[in-house]
Chain A
């Protein structure tokens, strides 16, 4: 019997950090001392001392694959007031983008973060565009102060999962 990963809480959302496929997570233009894990991983992202920082210039390209298909509802992106991100573009299901072709595709959603967002207020996304998301690409184009370095404290994604067979769980659980 194939196992089925438990579905979603019907109302509201789930923090999708549990469904991130960590082996495929990539971030371009990050500094080695301040990597993506500081902003994405449970525990690290709430630590104020750790943040994600850009290296050569202010742009960041983050690729997050998921272990199953999800619907994306909203996101929380926090950062310092000056160096926090401003323009953020989201691409659903586009793999291995680079800085050169990131502007060739229309984004699934484009966010303009306000200082309130940077303090923790969630941003509502275009839910209809994120119905069937296997992977998410986050392109941080610039920051609040238009400086050379962008810092991100936390990236949290909220949404719901679609009933999917998680191949890794096949052997473990059996339901009758």
Chain B
């Protein structure tokens, strides 16, 4: 809600023709600028925004600071790309344009998009920065495009010279699949200085980043506690609902494939069937399967199943010692989770139910690049798991509530594609430590 006059400096030099940002550097820049203009004018109706170009024939002011969004967007049309960017002149002209703003109460801010290489040295840039600070002008820099040696440092020095009480920021955007605007939305350039997100920025952030902005659900609990609370409650209700749905699906699957004999054996048969049909698919994905990897898979499964079965426990212990030798942290994490899961046995029932869902388990296994579901040792182990889970399920059917904690965490992980990380996270407690260790131990998975 800060009352601000902003000048945006566009880089329309030849370097903007490059396509390493989709669709082209210039277009990505234009989109980002449109979003910034919208955000600024929305956060405070009296804010004004102006635009100037730094390259082309020379520094040219396209529109002086105005609150008319249409005028700003219109002037961005038909801009020609060419020439070389003149950073110092651009900043000085921007400063002048801000000095002659109509409403002197507005704070002054310059946003620079620096896509081409910087030919000035650090000292010049620092002198400019000090001049801006002296005149209490804030500066935001978006470093994208060309990244020659020294460019990030030069721009950092510039922003550090201008920075007064954290009002100036710099963002480095490397080329990649995500759009320039999406990356910028979560930065302080959009959200303003320590405001925690205006409505526009928060909504955009939630849309773009899937609700993973700086705050939970893209809403600042300080700014809007009721909304944040409502979002959190609805998220948990959704998880509980999904977990109930998963439970139902597994039960139905069990009913469908029942031949009428012992439930465990029928499930076993069904399991092998499902595995067989997907064997062809699995074969494609077969990679070097080392004993370590298979062993650790079994060990992880065993850990989550409370290690009741003696054979599985033996395998587990053997593998644990191997793993411990290699990675004490992993062993500690596994140990911790064993203790905790032993304490909370009711939560296992939920886990078993989830594991019972053959289609679910086989889909996980298929997505694991290094695991071949046809591996006989693996099949036997899974069969034993099914047996365990059956007995547990009958006892603990009514204790679903307690297990909710574990499942709901499980479900969103699965929904994000069941990559190698998610698959091995059978125990909720294990997950954080294992995830961090995973790339270290198993580079071949990537």
The residues of A with any CB-CB pair to B shorter than 8 Å are 28-29, 32, 55-57, 59, 95-96, 98-100
Contact = CB atoms under 8 A, between A and B. Distances in A.
A98 B99 CA distance: 8
Interface stretch (B42-50, B133-141, B174-182): B133-141
Contacts of A57: 130, 134
B134 A55 contact: yes
A35 to B, nearest CB: 11
B104 interface: yes
A99 B165 contact: no
Given A32-B164, A32-B165, A55 B133 contact: yes
Given A55-B133, A56-B131, A98-B135, 19 more contacts: A28-B134, A28-B136, A29-B133, A29-B134, A29-B135, A32-B164, A55-B164, A56-B130, A56-B133, A56-B134, A57-B130, A57-B134, A59-B134, A96-B104, A98-B99, A99-B134, A99-B135, A100-B99, A100-B135
24 contacts: A28-B134, A28-B135, A29-B133, A29-B134, A29-B135, A29-B136, A32-B164, A32-B165, A55-B133, A55-B164, A56-B130, A56-B131, A56-B133, A56-B134, A57-B130, A57-B134, A59-B134, A95-B104, A96-B104, A98-B135, A99-B134, A99-B135, A100-B99, A100-B135
A96 B106 CA distance: 12
A59 B133 CA distance: 12
A95 to B, nearest CB: 8
A126 to B, nearest CB: 28
Contacts of A56: 130-131, 133-134
A140 B102 CA distance: 26
B199 to A, nearest CB: 28
B138 to A, nearest CB: 13
B316 to A, nearest CB: 60
A98 B133 CA distance: 12
Interface in B112-157: 130-131, 133-136
Interface string B73-110: 00000000000000000000000000100001000000
Chain A contact residues: helix, strand, loop or mixed: loop
A96 B134 CA distance: 14
B194 to A, nearest CB: 14
Contacts of B131: 56
A57 B131 CA distance: 9
A56 B164 CA distance: 10
A96 B164 CA distance: 21
A96 B100 CA distance: 10
Nearest to B136: A28
A118 to B, nearest CB: 24
Contacts of B133: 29, 55-56
Contacts of B135: 28-29, 98-100
Interface string B162-198: 0011000000000000000000000000000000000
Contacts of A96: 104
Contacts of A32: 164-165
B7 to A, nearest CB: 15
Nearest to B165: A32
B303 to A, nearest CB: 54
Contacts of B99: 98, 100
Nearest to B127: A56
Interface string B255-283: 00000000000000000000000000000
B89 to A, nearest CB: 15
Which 10 pairs across A and B sit closest by C-beta, in order of nearness?
Answer: A56-B130, A56-B134, A29-B134, A56-B133, A32-B165, A96-B104, A98-B99, A98-B135, A28-B136, A99-B134
B105 to A, nearest CB: 9
A28 B130 CA distance: 12
A130 B136 CA distance: 29
Contacts of A95: 104
A100 B130 CA distance: 14
Contacts of B130: 56-57
A67 B15 CA distance: 54
Contacts of A29: 133-136
A32 B193 CA distance: 16
Nearest to A33: B165
Nearest to A54: B134
A153 B136 CA distance: 22
Contacts of B104: 95-96
A21 to B, nearest CB: 14
A95 B164 CA distance: 24
A29 B132 CA distance: 10
Most buried by A among B104, B133, B134, B164: B134
A29 B99 CA distance: 15
A99 B104 CA distance: 15
Contacts of A100: 99, 135
B410 to A, nearest CB: 49
A169 to B, nearest CB: 24
A95 B104 CA distance: 10
Most B CB contacts (10 A, CB to CB) among A29, A59, A96 go to A29
A28 B135 CA distance: 6
Contacts of A55: 133-134, 164
Q: Max chain B CB contacts within 10 Å: which of A95, A98, A99?
A: A98
A98 B136 CA distance: 10
A46 to B, nearest CB: 27
Contacts of A59: 134
Nearest to B96: A100
A32 B133 CA distance: 12
